[in-house]
Chains A and B, each alone.
Chain A
Amino acid sequence: AQSVAQPEDQVNVAEGNPLTVKCTYSVSGNPYLFWYVQYPNRGLQFLLKYITGDNLVKGSYGFEAEFNKSQTSFHLKKPSALVSDSALYFCAVRTMFSGGYNKLIFGAGTRLAVHP
C-alpha cells in the first residue's frame, strides 16, 4: 500500500538557521511527491513537487526538497528560516486509480515553529 510518513510532529528552528522537515514514502512504481503548507484558518497551499529529473526541486517561498530514491525520502529544506514560515507542513504522494486518475495520500503533518 502507498503511504507517507512524517516522523516529527514538530520541528523547532531559530530564525535565520536552516530547516529540514522530513518525509519518507512507500509506493509501487515511480513516485510523484508533493509538499503542501497549511497556515492557520487557511487551505493547503502547494509548495513544490517531484515528478522526474533533478533530485533537488525548488519551490515557492525559497523552499526546496531533495528526492532520494535509495532512502525513499523527500525532505523539505530551506537555507534560512523565517518566523513567517511557521505553519503545518504536509508531504504527499500521488497514487493512481485503475482508471488513470489519481488522488493524494498525505502524511500526518509536521508543525514548524520558527523562533525569533
Chain B
Amino acid sequence: DTGVSQNPRHKITKRGQNVTFRCDPISEHNRLYWYRQTLGQGPEFLTYFQNEAQLEKSRLLSDRFSAERPKGSFSTLEIQRTEQGDSAMYLCASSPVIGQGVAFFGQGTRLTVV
C-alpha cells in the first residue's frame, strides 16, 4: 500500500498521560499536514511541514502539542498531559509540491482520553 499510513489507528489514554502518533506520507511528497476532526465537524488544520521544516502552526496547537518531521519523511505528533478535550480523530495528509493542492489523507488515529 503506497498511501498515507498512520499508527496507531486507535489510542485510549488516561488524562494527564503523553501520547505520540506517527504518520508515514506518500513517498516523495514534500508537504505534510496534520488535521484534527471532532465528531460532527470537518477536519481542522493543525500544522504544516515542507520537507523537515515546520512552516505553519494553527492556534489550535497549544503548547502541549508538538510535531516533528526530522528527516523530511515520517512525522510524529505528540500531545503532553492529555485532556479530555483532546479526544478526536487526528488525520495526516501529504501532497506533492505540484498537483494543485490535492492532499491525500491517512485513515487517522482516533484518540480517546478517559
> In the bound complex, how far is the Cα of B101 from the Cα of A49, in angstroms?
9
Within residues 1 to 41 of chain B, which ones have a CB less than 8 A from any CB in chain A?
4, 31, 33, 40-41
> CA of A103 to CA of B45 in the docked complex: distance in angstroms?
7
Instruction: Report the nearest A residue to B102, measured CB to CB.
Output: A46
Q: How far is the CB of B106 from chain A (nearest CB, A)?
A: 5
Task: Using CB atoms, name the residue of chain A closest to B9.
Answer: A41
Which of B48-56, B67-75, B80-88 is near enough to bind chain A? B48-56
- Of B4, B33, B101, which contacts A43 at CB under 8 A? B4
**B100, A103: Cβ atoms under 8 Å?**
no
Contact present for A34 and B101 (CB under 8 Å): yes
Q: Are A90 and B43 in contact, CB atoms less than 8 angstroms apart? A: yes
Asked whether, in the complex, the Cβ of A97 is within 8 Å of the Cβ of B43, the reply is no
Q: Is A94 an interface residue, CB under 8 A from the partner?
A: yes
CB of A99 within 8 A of CB of B42, answer no
Interface residues on A, range: 20 to 34
Q: Mark A91-113, 1 if CB is under 8 A from B, else 0.
A: 01010010101111111110000
A101 touches B31 (CB 8 A): yes
Chain B residues within an 8 Å CB radius of A45: 105
Task: Tell me which residues from 60 to 102 in chain B have a Cβ below 8 Å from any Cβ of chain A.
Answer: 91, 93, 100-102
Q: Please state if A97 and B107 are interface contacts (CB–CB under 8 Å).
A: no
- 17 residue pairs of the A-B complex, CB under 8 angstroms, read A4-B42, A34-B101, A43-B106, A44-B43, A44-B93, A49-B100, A90-B42, A94-B101, A97-B55, A99-B55, A101-B31, A101-B56, A103-B33, A106-B44, A108-B42, A109-B40, A109-B42
Residues of A within 8 A of B (CB): 4, 32, 34, 36, 41-46, 49, 51, 90, 92, 94, 97, 99, 101-109
New A-B contacts (15) at CB < 8 Å, excluding given A36-B105, A51-B100: A44-B105, A45-B105, A46-B102, A46-B103, A49-B100, A97-B55, A97-B56, A101-B31, A101-B55, A103-B56, A104-B43, A106-B43, A108-B41, A109-B40, A109-B42
